[in-house]
Amino acid sequence: MKIGIVFAGQGAQYSGMGKDLYEAFPKAKEVFDLAGDQVKEWCFNGEEETLKQTHVTQPTIYTTTMAAYEALMEQIEKEGLKDKLEVTALAGFSLGEYSALTAAGAIDEISKGIDIVTKRGTLMQQAGLDEEGNAKGGMAAGLGDRQAILEAVEEAREDGILEGVNFNSPGQTVVAGDKAALKRFRKAAKERKVKAIPLGVSTAFHSPMMVPAAEKLRDVLKAAELKVPQKKVYANITADDMMKDFDGGDVSAYLTDVLAKQAMSPVHWDDIIRRFEADGVKAIIEVGPGKTLTGLTKKTCPEIAAFNVENVETLENAIAQLKEMA
């Protein structure tokens, strides 16, 4: 049976994430122990406001996600499902793309992945601050007709930063920009009968505001010596096989370019889910905290079974469903 695996992105964090996986699965414990005591403390006991800080959010979600992935793979093998399931492709939402690349072997050590996303989080947080250290941007979810949302973006941008950045599902498009432009967007959206919901994030991810972070991120990625993925990974910026345009040269330089662009470019998530559907995938498993991507899968391709793995209970449920379907 063909399945797809997708990995959670920023915004899914909560206090206590991964704790029961840490206690129940040795492989999950290994991942958390690699991340160190500070990350474990944030994951298991962190306060909401602390977990919202990008330099905290990224390593904690990545660590929890990789712990859940290791536990899932361990159980798939233990239950005799490995030969019955074909993972056709992987994908991750924004930050989750780093988890997908780790699962695919492009990031060849989890400790390396933790280091990359920790530095990425710091760079993105710094890029979103003004000279006084205050957040200069944010994001809002537009719920309604996509064309109407993008028209509101064009009207509200003026001389500021404002872009449609996360194309999540047919009825949900996330917009990012500076605070003044977002205020104008909410008014323009209301006039078009589009609901605009401010998101609890610290800056305008995947927008031109992230250009300084993307340029500095290149140095971090170059040093990581990224490898050729051993599984197909669908890229956020194209919704296509990330290696499609690779010409056989320096793979680390090639992936560095893809991931640096990703930090400042839109995420085409609904197209990625449709790509899984075109592959003949029967189930998409979301790995990591929360179940946002599971909900988006159901909205975009309701014929595909969708379930998440974030703790012991959801892992057991996923294994039960896979056994029944396989």
Q: What's the CA gap between 155 and 150, in Å, rounded?
A: 9
Amino acid identity, residue 301?
A: C
Is the separation of the CB atoms in 5 and 85 below 8 Å?
Answer: no
Length of the chain as a residue count: 326
- Our answer to whether residue 206 is catalytic in this structure is yes
Q: What's the CA gap between 143 and 176, in Å, rounded?
A: 14
**Among 68, 20, 59, which Cα is nearest to 36's?**
59
Q: Looking at 99, 202, 206, 268, which residue is catalytic?
A: 206
The residue behind tokens 């492989």 is 27
- Our answer to whether residue 94 is catalytic in this structure is yes
Contacts of 38 (CB under 8 A, 6+ apart): none
Beta strands 137-143; 86-92: pairing state: unpaired
Q: What's the CA gap between 260 and 210, in Å, rounded?
A: 10
Q: Looking at 94, 99, 202, 265, which residue is catalytic?
A: 94
Q: In this structure, what are the phi and psi dihedrals at residue 196, rounded to the nearest 5 degrees?
A: -120, 115
- Positions annotated as catalytic residues are 94, 206
